[in-house]
Amino acid sequence: MKDISKIILTAFLSCTLLLGGTTAMAQTRETAANTAAQSLFTKNDPTDIKNEPELSAISKRFIYNDINKQIKLNTAKQELLTLVVLTANNTPEDIPAHVEGALRAGATPEQIHESIFHCTPYVGLPKVKAALERVGQVMEMLKIKPCAPAGTTTDQTRHEAGLAVQRAIFGAENIDKMNASAPADQKHINDYLSANCFGDYYTRKVLDVKERELITFTAIVTLGGCEPQAKAHAAANISVGNSRQDLLDALTIALPYIGYPRTLNGLSCVNAIAPSK
């Protein structure tokens, strides 16, 4: 009888400890997530969903605990890439909260503006326009002056400047071969890539080429269905000095906003270029 009582007592204590440990783990995740979110947002936490406390809790703990612990990039860069994802996703309603978050994390107004500005040739003007309008509203509310122009080229220099950037990133032989082999009726697209995509955007001040390439990769992966370009820019990131970890960080940051299919497609592109050692 005593042995049976001991077995029952042991089982009870084991269950109690297990439940207590699970509760403590949940509280730890919740506490860590709340602390991280409160450091970024004074109000309007974007994971707070009206009348959806369960989804709000799952999202907050996943983004601000699980993902936060995984990312090696600093918080300011994480918020800047989140703004890129929101822009490419065409979800400007969450832009104001993350502008505040980026500022509180130490990003400058110029970095915020330029990170979104750089998305234009990849996600299209309307999405960038909607995002920058939200940025402007926040900056006006905070009495922050509009950013100064950051362009460095003229109508006369933009093509050659852009072509030089292309060659530096992708290799002169590759770019020259691509341009030389283009059919006559699509040569204008190649010219636009040099003059517009690279000449008008990559040559701008504020962000360096490593930052711009990581933004480009993040925006393309967010769009989905652009795996050839995602793979090319994964390679470009490695070429300019970003690491596999940087690319994985970008994918991990994007994951809650783009879902697993697009994230896994992006991961396949990274693995094809910079496989795990």
Domains and CATH numbers, the chain: 45-150+209-273 (1.20.1290.10), 152-203 (no CATH)
What average pLDDT does range 11-19 have in this prediction?
42
Which pLDDT does position 42 carry in this prediction?
83
Q: How confident is the model at residue 24 (pLDDT cuts 50, 70, 90)?
A: low
Phi, psi (5° rounding) for residue 109?
A: -55, -35
User: Model's pTM, two decimal places?
Assistant: 0.90
* pLDDT band, very low/low/confident/very high, at 7 (cuts 50, 70, 90): very low
The tens digit of pLDDT for each residue in 88-146 reads 999 999 999 999 999 999 999 999 999 999 999 999 999 999 999 999 999 999 999 99
Q: Give me the chain's average pLDDT, please.
A: 92
| pLDDT > 70 fraction of the chain, expressed in percent and rounded | 91
